[in-house]
Structure 1
Amino acid sequence: MPTTVRLVVLISGAGTNLQALIEASADPAYGATIVAVGSDRPDVEGLVRAQLHGIETFVLPTADFEDRVDWDIALTETVSSFEPGLVVLAGFMKLTGPAFLGVFGGRTVNTHPSLLPSFPGLHGPRDALAYGVKVSGATLFVVDEGVDTGPIIAQVAVPVLDDDDEATLHERIKVSERAMLVDWVGRLARKILAGTAE
């Protein structure tokens, strides 16, 4: 019987959410172990963070493939080789496709810096400010074939301050988003473990 759930984390940048997950998973009671970190971009800080903790990494730039279909198949095969129970998109700036979702649909989670279904897409904080909302936040959801459209797992509210600009609002959202991600990945992992223990 497994004592932790195997996680693959996909990133595209600095990996601050990844770092929080690495620190949380150091505690055996957390319920999850990061077995690999993948990126669509080489030379990003998140890969260095993983390597410093002895976590295996891989890089699959979309430009290396004939088309997105081939890239999606390669991503699916590479992630599958690590046999994850859960896949976490932590600042991963590519949409996964049908091949990936065919294997990992229902067990891939992502975060977004708005209270979905409001303000999906690349500019959640900017769009929220432009609309004039007084409360924004972050959402953890199950990835589906749409853009930020999957079933919502959890949300956290972040007040919009009168002097906020996109950068200040986004930075405060990130802090709450990170805490929510760490909390809920642990909860999901322990729930998976409880299911295997039955």
Structure 2
Amino acid sequence: MSPLRPAGAAAQEPRAAIAVFASGSGSNFEAIAAACADGRLAARVALLVCDKPGAPVCGRAERLGIETFVFDPHAYPSKAAFEGEIVRRLDAARVRLVCLAGYMRLVGETLLGAYGGRIVNIHPSLLPAFKGAHAIRDAFDYGVRVYGVTIHRVDASLDGGPIVAQRAFDYAGRDREELERRVHAVEHVLYVETIGQLLKEQDKG
């Protein structure tokens, strides 16, 4: 006899497991987790990977009850060593897609070898313009009038790899904090939409 299901529950395929890598505040991490929780994204965040013990994103994950792997890179003898541990944890969680969201570390050969083609990153500029950790500031200081967000597949280069999605918006103001808020608002929507599309593409094979 089949086990009883709660009233109204229907048999469903397990939701796709994704992992989010972050080093800082984790606003994109929480936006993705919220989209999973409310059904906008047919997935679940199976693992947060963070290379900064004590980063605010860890507190967000704890509050949301999401499993974390928080590590100090300096505690490992090499990049291959800590990436090997990450790969083991991703495999154990059966992760289908790795989403970098403010992960301030270049992905190395070990992780690319195991999950190459299934790692994406979000960057707060219209790549290939304004690569690096200070993209919003650099674009603002340059005086551009069209800003944007890029999602791309990850390779061994800094903010390189094929572009998956971009979204642009006009901004002619001189308030950088307001600009940053607008960039983050675009990020939170575009990343969720793109993750959903990538998972659908995986399902189609």
TM-score, with structure 1 as normaliser: 0.90
Structure 2 residue runs without a partner (length 5+): 1-11
**Aligned amino acid, residue 183 of structure 2:** I
Which residue in 2 is equivalent to 1:56? 67
Which residue in 2 is equivalent to 1:32? 43
Q: Is the 8 A contact 1:137 1:157 kept in 2?
A: yes
Which residue in 1 is equivalent to 2:125? 114
Which of 171, 196, 203 is the matching residue for 1:193? 203
Q: How far 1:132 sits from its partner (Å)?
A: 2.3
Matched residues in 2 for 1:10 and 1:21: separation?
A: 12
**2:188 is the alignment partner of 1:178:** yes
Which residue in 2 is equivalent to 1:82? 93
Query: Map of 1:1-198 to 2, 5 A cutoff?
Result: 2-28=13-39, 30-165=41-176, 167-195=177-205
User: Aligned to 1:30, what secondary structure does the other structure show?
Assistant: coil
Q: How far 1:2 sits from its partner (Å)?
A: 4.1
The number of residue pairs the alignment matches comes to 194
Matched residues in 1 for 2:39 and 2:133: separation?
A: 35
Aligned-pair identity (%) = 36
Computing the radius of gyration from Cα coordinates, the structure with the larger value is: 2
Matched residues in 2 for 1:119 and 1:74: separation?
A: 32
Q: Which has the higher contact order (CA 8 A, sep 6+)?
A: 1
Compared CA separation, residues 105 and 86, structure 1 to 2 (3 A): same
Q: Is the 8 A contact 2:41 2:192 kept in 1?
A: no
Root mean square deviation, CA, Å: 1.8
Query: Comparing 139-148 with 170-179, which one deviates more in the overlay?
Result: 170-179
Q: Is the 8 A contact 1:31 1:190 kept in 2?
A: no
TM-score, with structure 2 as normaliser: 0.87
Matched residues in 2 for 1:82 and 1:173: separation?
A: 31
Residue by residue over 1:47-95, the C-alpha shift from the partner in whole angstroms, topping out at 9 and shown as x without a partner, is 2222222221111211111232322222222322212000111111111
Compared CA separation, residues 127 and 5, structure 1 to 2 (3 A): same
Q: How far 1:3 sits from its partner (Å)?
A: 4.0
Matched residues in 2 for 1:97 and 1:70: separation?
A: 11
Matched residues in 2 for 1:29 and 1:163: separation?
A: 34
**Aligned amino acid, residue 169 of structure 1:** L
Q: How far 1:176 sits from its partner (Å)?
A: 0.6
Compared CA separation, residues 162 and 145, structure 1 to 2 (3 A): same
Q: Is the 8 A contact 1:39 1:58 kept in 2?
A: yes
Matched residues in 2 for 1:127 and 1:29: separation?
A: 33
**Aligned amino acid, residue 88 of structure 1:** C
Q: Is the 8 A contact 1:11 1:89 kept in 2?
A: yes
Q: How far 1:100 sits from its partner (Å)?
A: 0.2
